[in-house]
Structure 1
Amino acid sequence: AVEVLPTLLRYEPRAVAVIGPDSTQLALTTAAILGIFLVPEISYEASLETLSLKRFYPSFLRTIPSDGQQVKAIALLLQRFKWTWVALVGSDNTYGRDGLNALNKLLATGDTCVAYQGIIPKTKDASSPELHRLVRILMDIKVNVTVVFSNRKNAQPFFEAVAQKNITGMVWVGSEDWSLAQTIWQVPGIQRIGPVIGMSVKQAEPAMLERLESWEKARERAASGSAGSTGAAGGNGGSSSQSAQLNCAQHCPGCHRLAATPDIYDAQACYNVYSAVYAVAHGLHDLLGCASGACSKGRVYPWQLLQKIKQVNFSLHKRQISFDANGNIHKGYDIVMWNWRGPSWAFDVVGAFTVNPDRLHIDQSKIQWHTKDHQAPISVCSQPCAAGEKRLQQNRHRCCFSCVACPPGTFLNTTDLYACQACGADKWAPARSEACFNRTVEFLSWAEPLSWALLTAAVLLLLLMAGLAAL
């Protein structure tokens, strides 16, 4: 039972901060409860954008970028390669559904059209009829680019079904949860499905993983030395020199396996935990006034620590750690692309998405497309119109259109490709024009044959009128 106090500022829980959990679904529950008592919670894998709402989750922070940033990165990636006709599929959970809806909403404000949006059925069986129905839809709508906003668990049977259907040549854009997951790239036949380009949270420095490995080995040596000592003086002397090299920030059981692990995702998750621990430590260091050389022994309330954690700004293995007003870490994404050129799976970092401001950089020299000309595949509903031709929308998708030439006296303004605009009274334009031109005023000289013809016609007309008047 939790004692009800007249003010939340006096709660003294045994834990003044919580790190975790490792999923969005669990974080929604814990963040709502801990937020009531203003206990700081730093998640290392919960990326749901809803958790940024401070009105509902006032004490929630995270060391993984929010899905709101990931959606922006994916939209900029599609825009960068001019992929305007795409399909969106996502996992049947909060992560997938909210990610798809946010991405669809953002794409609607630009030039990219969503040909189809679907949900991956919750099944572990790649032969599921619902799963194969989804794959057939992707084949029928004839898109060349599909965004898969899914967790690893749902993405695995989906790509097993894709491989079974022998889909080749399609570009797959992946969310950070599965783009580097070992369980996905080990799916049989997946190397034939086409290029895979996706998001990955900024990778931890290899030097950091090697340092964690050396710390763990030192701890193991210290522990074995202490256990094998026979004399009190000799045993303490032998182990104390080893233990003196360790402290609480260096203790990381199991981290010695990180440097050699084939699953980059797990290594990244460990780095996010590592960052969260350091954020709490820096907050406590500031709150207790440890900069003076001696830490205060005063009482620590969670709400006090929360304010300090929000203000931390430090460097951790060449990565800057700080949080914005919504508790989101200032961290972007690496753009990664699968590489099957060697005997086994690998990936290349081909670009980056940075925040504040939001920018996407792609290194074209690192990308090798599967097309004959080695250029980025085209994914459009209709080919661009020629100069001076307006777009005539064929259905509800503005990306699907036919082309109609603008008639004489009108022009096509590049700000509105769906309507020809009339020229002014003193201007003119030929057919298929993109601009109007000033009319030229010309005067006829008396020596011109046309001048004599008009003058003769005028004189005859005057004589005729005079004759009629005389009658």
Structure 2
Amino acid sequence: MYCFFPFVIEYNVTGKVWIGTEDWSVATLVSGIPGISSIGTVIGVSIKYTPFSGFRDFEKQSVSKLKDISMSHNSSEMRVPCVQNTDLYTMATQNYSLEEYDISSFFNVHKAVYAVAQALRQVLNCDSAECQKTQIQPWQVPVSQCSPECPFGQSKLQVGQHKCCFKCMPCPVSTFLNNTGSTSCQPCKRNQWSPAQSEECLNREVLYLPWEAPLAFALLVLVALTLLLTLGTTLVFLLKLNTPVVKSAGGRTCLLMLLSLSAACCSTLAHFGVPSQLSCLFQKSFFILSFTVCLACVTIRSFQVRWVM
């Protein structure tokens, strides 16, 4: 195309729409031709470009080596490694500047060669040393697929620069995936759940202790006995508040401790029946508050005894 467009400009071919590949539509050699803007509109089809690590250094080292060899030997007698069959040899002998060299098309070449090499390696059963087979038939060529599709319950995690190469990652708990090709798992609804690597969500099963259950009846009897003991002791202490025995036991501090124990005992009633947001909030916060007050009273009473001793 570098040699073609000068003739287009010379013959004054203008007002055209040119559809080109990325080899020349984005090449600086073509866009730098004088008068190239007069040919019309250029629509270039380009794919995502990924730079090759170390490729520029390889080119520079190869060209420099070829220049050194060409200066020390005659071109007819010169023997160069396999790079002499490439354009690098011509670039070296003609002192071509690498800064103007567009390597974007090498990405396509790299992918094509890599795909063919991997296919042949699988068909010929090759390892790093040799191949087990030497001939193949057309029907033995494998499908060009880097990674197989992930099963349901697993999402894709791309590996490397190619979208067709990925790992299958199981969906975490409370997520699901019932289709292939997705890169993320879908969360379950609030009233649903799922184990890891699930295709669907399951409805949550509500478990609670009904009031009419035998275990609930036995626990209620124990709660009632505990309340009777604590409230009865509180009443006795309240009636005998000014006696020496009650004062030595802690007096009003002891009354507060007994009342907090009674309140903590009452908080267990919220564990029976169908749970609700109010009952769940009550059974935790009320028990923590009342039991904290009880422990605080015990701590204060311990300091008082230590101070008297």
Give the TM-score taking structure 1 as reference length. Answer: 0.26
RCO higher in structure (CA 8 A, sep ≥6): 1
**Greater strand share, 1 or 2?**
1
Q: Which has the larger radius of gyration?
A: 2
Alignment TM-score, normalising by the size of structure 2: 0.37
